[in-house]
Amino acid sequence: MAAETLLDSREIPLADPAATIALGARLGAQLRRGDVVCLSGGLGAGKTTLARGAIEAWTGETQEAPSPTYTLVQTYDGPRGQLWHVDLYRLKRAEEAFELGLEDAFVEAACLIEWPERLEGALPRDRLDIALAMQEEGRRATLSGRGKWGARVGSI
């Protein structure tokens, strides 16, 4: 048995930015407190675009969510609680993330995390990993549900 449970994995083609936003919106509509979603992929892969779709669905408001590249985190309140949009690109030490209160947010909020690689082993076991990559003119998302997320990947 593998030490890590990877129950389900799925690929979704995203032809244009609207498709990335729509995937984010489907995700945001079913996120709940305690959910952790890791968005990986290089610069320009579409991580922030996907997060914006999720933020709109979470808050129920159309808004131009700023990228948290410099602030590391932006938080949003919605009917289901607080959503954290985190960008760890500029993180220097893992402790910096915990000084922000990220460990509590893993439990008490829903979290979308860009550049999750910066935290390596400090990420929760139960999480949805979304890897974005270039595909022709568009992008491709690979969704991997780990732990309790395995059963939920199919519903996004």
Ligand X SMILES: Nc1ncnc2c1ncn2[C@@H]1O[C@H](COP(=O)(O)OP(=O)(O)O)[C@@H](O)[C@H]1O
Contact residues toward ligand X (CB under 6 A) are 14, 16-17, 19-20, 41, 43-49, 138-139
3-state secondary structure of 47: helix
Q: In the beta sheet, which residues pair with residue 38? A: 113, 129
C-beta closer to Mg ion: residue 51 or 128: 51
Residue 146, interface with Mg ion (CB under 5 A)? no
Residue 48, interface with Mg ion (CB under 5 A)? yes
Of 24, 47, 68, 80, the one binding Mg ion (CB under 5 A) is: 47
Beginning with the edge strand found earlier in the chain, give each strand of the sheet holding 127-135 in spatial order.
6-14, 138-146, 127-135, 36-40, 110-114, 81-87, 73-78
Residue 49, interface with Mg ion (CB under 5 A)? no
C-beta closer to ligand X: residue 52 or 146: 52
Number of helical (H) and strand (E) elements in the chain, helices listed first: 4, 7
In the complex, residue closest to Mg ion by CB? 48
- Select from ligand X, Mg ion, none the partner in contact with residue 61, using the beta carbon and a kind-dependent cut-off of 5 to 8 Å: none
Angle at which helices 47-59 and 17-30 cross, to 10°: 40
Separation between Cα atoms, residue 29 and residue 24, nearest integer Å: 9
Q: Residue 146 carries which side chain, given as an amino acid letter? A: R
Q: How far is the CB of 24 from ligand X (least distance, A)?
A: 10
Q: How far is the CB of 51 from ligand X (least distance, A)?
A: 8
Q: Where along the sequence are the contacts to Mg ion (CB under 5 A)?
A: 47-48
